[in-house]
Amino acid sequence: MNTTTLAHNGTLTLNEGYFARRTWGDWLFALLAVVGAVIAFQRYHGAMDIYEKWILAGTVPVVIWLGWFWRPVRNLILVVAALTLLAIFSYQGDAGADLRRGDTVFWLKYFLSSQSAILWMSMIFFMSTVFYWGGMFIRSQQDALEGLGSKLAWVAVGLALIGTMVRWYESHQIGPDIGHIPVSNLYEVFVMFCWMTALFYLYYEAQYKTRAMGAFVMLVVSAAVGFLLWYTLVREAHEIQPLIPALQSWWMKLHVPANFIGYGTFALAAMLGFAYLIKQQADEKRWYKLAPIWIFGIALCFVPIAFRQRGVGEAGGSYWLGYALIAAMIVGGILLGRKRIAERLPSFEVLDDVMYKSIAVGFAFFTIATVLGALWAAEAWGGYWSWDPKETWALIVWLNYAAWLHMRLMKGLRGTVASWWALAGLAITTFAFIGVNMFLSGLHSYGSL
């Protein structure tokens, strides 16, 4: 639809409509998305129920809109699709699909099998974090280092998506009753949390034209990767398992991703709140005024203690000891270098605005996820709400951020209080995400450690 605007010279000018502004590249991308969906339907419709077919159809306009809305995502989607197809074709042998080729085909064994891609994702997220922090402290190379950290974050997101898509394919090759979208256990959702959090951050990085926030956001992504590696090495969680009956539902394909958009953006907002408090108190010398830093350090070190207390860390005691030492070193570095960090961080207004937008987006998706979860519960257990510990803590998370947004919009909540509240929200969200699985039991106990 065309619209008219008043130009500076007083004449009316005609603005191009949304579709008229599309380039040939936009339309080519849209065509590829449609063709890809048609091919996927032709090849795999036998493994889909009616709801999954509608989900596939609904995914097409979403993918097209994302590619049009944010051009870097278009490149990401095309690269992920191309390398995923390469992996799928590489699994084909003389007699059809053969997962044993994952141990003999070079790029499958070392790069494109699901586990290889996810391990590369883990290493590259760590590297990205290191480069972002290097840019924070090395003045002469800060732009180059932060730029490299940003590029590596994009690569890690791509590898996470490739690993997820290939794992989905691999699960169907193990057996017709085993194949499922990889969002069903802690291993798979931690991968999702990592790439979603990083991707939302990269969007805000581009929008606000500052990379300094990446040092803080990548800390929470690296912490998640640290858990993922422990969960892989000690619990062998990367092994593909059949779904339990409670998870054999199309609702899972909608509920879980919406939930983790909320978790990822809430974590992003909390880390920016942490950065805000550091910038605010950079010149402070009184130890009790530096509470955000040392409380954050205590919280980081509490994680391995909690794991060992529950017994889930006994097989990886040295791992969690190393985790605690690294956490202490990070907090010590932030404490000592807080003035330099404050100089490098963007303005208070930018930090506050990104924190607000992240919570707003997360709250919207978390609300959708909660409604979908209630509908799923009605189908699986015969009731919309049962006050299961997971449901109760999901409600606590929702109420926390509803109150935050209410205070923001109605009372003008800003700055210090908003930042502390966002940090507290991360603690609440973390307990709802993983603490419930560790310390409580209920209808959601299939996610236990």
Say which range, 183-187, 306-310, 330-334, 392-396, has the weakest mean pLDDT: 306-310
Q: Which residue has the higher pLDDT, 191 or 48?
A: 191
Per-residue confidence (pLDDT) for residue 328, from 0 to 100: 78
Question: Cα Rg for the chain, rounded, in angstroms?
Answer: 23
Nearest C-alpha neighbor of 271 from the set 190, 200, 167: 200
Contact (CB, 8 A) for 300 and 333: no
Is the pLDDT confidence value at 257 over 90? yes
Burial (CB count <10 Å: 0-12, 13-18, 19+), residue 294: middle
pTM recorded for the entire structure: 0.90
Q: Which residue has the higher pLDDT, 123 or 10?
A: 123
* Segment 48-75 mean pLDDT: 91
Contacts of 173 (CB under 8 A, 6+ apart): 91, 97, 99, 179
Is the pLDDT confidence value at 93 over 90? no
Half-sphere exposure of 411 (CA within 13 A, CB side): 10
Q: How large a percentage of the chain has pLDDT more than 70?
A: 86
Contacts of 428 (CB under 8 A, 6+ apart): 393, 396, 397, 400
Contact (CB, 8 A) for 173 and 114: no
Q: Which residue has the higher pLDDT, 19 or 70?
A: 70
Two tokens at 146? 């932060």
Render 249-314 in DSSP notation, one character per residue.
STTHHHHHHHHHHHHHHHHHHHHHHHHHHHHHTTT--SGGGGHHHHHHHHHHHHHHHHHHHHTTTG
* Segment 93-115 mean pLDDT: 88
Per-residue confidence (pLDDT) for residue 388, from 0 to 100: 84
* Segment 226-255 mean pLDDT: 82
Per-residue confidence (pLDDT) for residue 14, from 0 to 100: 47
* Segment 100-127 mean pLDDT: 93
Give the integer Cα–Cα distance in Å for 26 and 439: 49
**What is the residue whose two structure tokens read 């141990």?**
103
Alpha-helical runs (H) found in 93-182: 106-107, 114-137, 142-174
pLDDT band of 396, cuts 50, 70, 90: very high
Alpha-helical runs (H) found in 11-49: 24-44
pLDDT band of 250, cuts 50, 70, 90: confident
